[in-house]
Structure 1
Amino acid sequence: MSTHFLTINRLERVLTRGGVEAFDLDVGVNLIIGRPNTGKTKWLQTLDYLLGDAGDNPYVDDDDLEEDISEKYSVAKAHISNGIDLDVDDRQIR
């Protein structure tokens, strides 16, 4: 019997004005590093939101940003594989 792992291959945020921002992940441990206020935490909150976090939408009422981020994005997506099939989970942001 083989063991299958849940793998998150890619996160996407669809811009309301067209286009997509994407964050690709490799199999194994991924380090997310960068300067402050460049979106590292927001990508992790996006993943949490896509996996069904019962808390608030991370894109609404974000007091830390000058621009209301819920106006910038329309949909968030995660490309998730279980070793056999690939699934794309998406949720409306606004």
Structure 2
Amino acid sequence: MTSPSTTGTTEAAVLAEITEALQSVLDELELTDEPITMDTRFVEDLDLESIDLVTLTGELRARYGDRVDFPAFFASLELSEIIGLTVGQLVRYVAGRLK
């Protein structure tokens, strides 16, 4: 069983990696620097469109390879869930897959 501090460290590391990948996508879009937190919403806060999420998925796949199945994760979500998806939800999914 994982202790809370280990989980927090893992989530913190994943948050840093996702933030780096997001920054790459955001730089391409020339968006303003938004602070990225666990509560940041991809669509509503960062104004990402579906093609941007595909680009992000590619960035993350390059980092995590087959260990994390991003297409399956997104396919499991309803449209309203994708629209409201937060960075924290993605971080928890990735951290859970890396255990």
TM-score grouping bracket, smaller chain normalisation: 0.3 to 0.5
Normalised by the length of structure 1, the TM-score is 0.32
More helix by share: 2
More strand by share: 1
Larger relative contact order, structure 1 or 2 (CA cutoff 8 Å, min sep 6): 2
Task: State which structure, 1 or 2, has the greater radius of gyration over its C-alpha atoms.
Answer: 1
